[in-house]
């Protein structure tokens, strides 16, 4: 896996539009979205020494922005005595590998609320996995949750790799539909 390095001088040119589109779809207010992006860049600069290079800059910045959006809604909801926020997910991702299993927060993150978010999201994911057809659930769980090798799964289930990947694709699509309907809405 290629380790990435930070290049803060290019963040505005490279990622501002992407971050803005992400934020505006979640807060529906241009000024709030701009403020959240600015807060994201400031937080990223302050915690740059914690960047491990395991993810791309964009992925890292998005994870910071997600926390800023959650904090924004928690601040709004704190007046009501509640701090419940649900994340949204934009299924039109540019990244081919940007799937559900990559949306779980980094357990080594220095940012707040990871444990709560991971627990709640984990319950929602499991509920959606339980709704998958038996074959999709089995293949998805073996590959994504258990991390078994493609060849081992194919041998055990007597299927070919192409069939395995079609099944995983269908499972992921069904899971994202389920989560979009039941979890990733504000």
155 to each of 41, 111, 162, how far by Cα in Å? 47, 41, 13
Residue 183's pLDDT is what? Answer: 67
Residue 159's pLDDT is what? Answer: 92
The answer to whether the CB of 28 falls within 8 A of the CB of 49 is: no
| Per-domain residue ranges of the chain | 1-85, 113-186
Residue 118's pLDDT is what? Answer: 60
Residue 104 is classified by DSSP as S
What are the two backbone dihedrals, phi and then psi, of residue 80, each rounded to the nearest 5 degrees? -95, 0
Residue 17 token pair: 């539009």
b/e burial code for range 21-32 (CB count within 10 A of at least 16 → b)? ebbbebbeeeee
Residue 58's pLDDT is what? Answer: 87
103 to each of 51, 106, 162, 163, how far by Cα in Å? 17, 9, 25, 25
pLDDT at 20 over 70: yes
The answer to whether the CB of 166 falls within 8 A of the CB of 143 is: no
pLDDT at 112 over 80: no
Residue 144's pLDDT is what? Answer: 79
SS3 of 140, please?
A: helix
Instruction: State pTM to two decimals.
Output: 0.43
Q: d(Cα 26, Cα 70) in Å, to the nearest integer?
A: 10
Residue 116's pLDDT is what? Answer: 52
When the candidates are 2.60.40.10, 3.30.70.100, 1.10.1740.10, 1.10.40.50, the CATH number that belongs to 1-85 is: 1.10.1740.10
Lowest mean pLDDT: which of 101-105, 122-126, 173-177?
A: 101-105
- pLDDT band at residue 35 under the 50/70/90 scheme: very high
- Protein fold of 113-186: Arc Repressor Mutant, subunit A (1.10.10)
Mean pLDDT of the chain: 76
């Amino acid at each position: 896996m290629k380790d990435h390095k930070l290049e803060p001088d290019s963040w505005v040119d490279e990622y501002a539009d992407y971050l803005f589109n992400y934020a505006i779809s979640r807060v529906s207010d241009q000024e709030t979205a701009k403020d959240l992006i600015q807060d994201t860049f400031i937080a990223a600069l302050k915690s740059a020494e914690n960047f491990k290079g395991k993810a791309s800059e964009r992925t890292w910045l998005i994870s910071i922005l997600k926390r800023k959006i959650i904090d924004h809604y928690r601040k709004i909801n704190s007046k009501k005595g509640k701090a419940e926020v649900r994340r949204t997910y934009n299924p039109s991702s540019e990244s081919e590998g940007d799937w559900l299993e990559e949306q779980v927060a980094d357990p080594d993150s220095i940012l707040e609320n990871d444990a709560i978010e991971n627990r709640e999201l984990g319950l929602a994911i499991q509920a959606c996995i339980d709704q998958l057809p038996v074959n999709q659930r089995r293949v998805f769980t073996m590959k994504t949750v258990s991390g078994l090798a493609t060849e081992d799964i194919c041998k055990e289930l007597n299927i070919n790799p192409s069939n395995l990947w079609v099944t995983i694709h269908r499972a992921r699509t069904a899971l994202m539909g389920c989560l979009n309907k039941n979890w990733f809405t504000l």
